[in-house]
Amino acid sequence: MGSGASIVGLGMTELGRVYGRSPRRFAADAVRLAVADAGLDLTDLDGLLVSHGLGGSPGIELADTLGLRDLRLLSQMNSFGATAGAMVSYAAMSVLSGAATTVACVFADAPLKPKQSAGSAYHRDAPEWYGFGGMTAALGFRSVNAFYALAAQRHMARYGTTSEQLGAIAVSTRQWAARNPLAQMREPITLADHQDSRWVAEPLHLLDCCLVSNGAIAVVVSRADRAGDLAQPPVHLWGWGQGHPGHRKERGSEFGLSTGAATSGPVAMKMAGITPADVDVAELYDCYTYTVLVSLEDYGFCGKGEGGAFAASGALGPGGALPTNTGGGQLSAYYMWGMTPLSEAVIQARGQGGERQAGKNDVILVSGNGGILDHHSTLIVSPHRKGA
């Protein structure tokens, strides 16, 4: 098959406690970096897909900021943490259909302010509260941590998942981060460190929760038959999918027990012509350790309810059967929503992972998760053309 789509460029700004740049500036910088990485010029872009964090910027005015002209594709997309996968799949379909030839997809956010804790960037406080949303916050749901804690606790109660099993994910992810110069947190941790870290929202310890980062990441998508002429090894897109379970808050809901990965995964894997056993590396959205655990189950890497035992077996770390979040993920490296797992997948597929490069990288699965497990996206990428 000669006409697939590929990721041909990756641009990452400085990530983490980086101040003095607006999200729009970060986004523009990342697009420039991605285009240069591909060996292209900004004038080669004829498509731009934009997504932003909770700050609400940038939008499609980013095209003007970059001075892009005569675009054939320009849109802002939002399915929260699932957006990166959604943007790349839309870009892939656009270049395959001929609607565009060269599409940049970018995410930017800058929630951290100087002298402010990471937690407070996503924490709500107010002297008084309005409406039903305000009432929930007033009663104590002041950040997203509590909502994910409810999900994790339900999984524990139903399947016997333990905090130590969640801790195994924190530890293996940090083992990878220690090998990644881009990671914010590289000091090794033990299971005891995880257990001793303060409670945020039981059953979640501090070391179950992701970082908060400023910055932007962009990728450039083009046709595979063109990618060979460009500067970087192409990363071929074998499959993509989404899953939006629409769990209602009512009797019978599967909230916390299963996620959109149960839909998204099979769709993407069927398109790619693979099964879970074919996946060499998994880059899973890890806003919390629990998110990784439930995603492993829903993708079929282990049975439902067996995610804890699978993680505790050592499968996810260096030398394990399923190297997972090889860059340190959102837990230990950087929190750029769905661009965190995607960027590491590109690096691994290119074989540019240095000290952390996975030995076998033929098939890499990338996930995105948005809302409180409301939205999911999947990409299957490879250094090889599909069917080659």
Partner 1 sequence: MEGVQIGVLRRDGRTDAFFDGTAADRLVIKRCAPCGLWFAPDQVACPGCGDEELEWAPAAGTATLVTWTVTHGRPADDGTAPPPAFLALVELAEGPWLHARLDGVDRAALREGLPLRAAFVHPGEGESYVLFRPAD
* Sites of contact with partner 1 (CB under 8 A): 117, 119-120, 126-142, 145-147, 149-151, 153-154, 157-158, 198-204, 248-251, 253, 255-256
CA-to-CA separations, 41 to 31, 68, 72, 104, in angstroms, rounded: 10, 11, 16, 12
Residue 268: DSSP 8-state: H
Q: At 335, list the tokens.
A: 């929190």
Select 70 or 250, whichever has its Cβ closest to partner 1: 250
Select 150 or 178, whichever has its Cβ closest to partner 1: 150
Query: Could you give the maximum distance between any two Cα atoms of the chain, in Å?
Result: 61
Could you give the residue numbers annotated as active site? 285, 335
CB of 249 to partner 1, least distance (A): 4
CB of 374 to partner 1, least distance (A): 14
Select 66 or 146, whichever has its Cβ closest to partner 1: 146
Select 115 or 249, whichever has its Cβ closest to partner 1: 249
What phi and psi values does residue 9 have, to the nearest 5 degrees?
Answer: -150, 145
**Cβ contacts of 93 within 8 Å, gap of 6 or more:** 5
Q: Terminal CA-to-CA distance of the chain, rounded, Å?
A: 7
CB of 84 to partner 1, least distance (A): 28
Select 146 or 171, whichever has its Cβ closest to partner 1: 146
CB of 23 to partner 1, least distance (A): 25
CB of 98 to partner 1, least distance (A): 38
Residue (of 83, 21, 18, 25) closest to 50 by Cα position: 83
Q: What is the per-residue DSSP string for 286-330?
A: -SBHHHHHHHHHHHTSS-TT-HHHHHHTTTTSTTSSS-BSTT-II
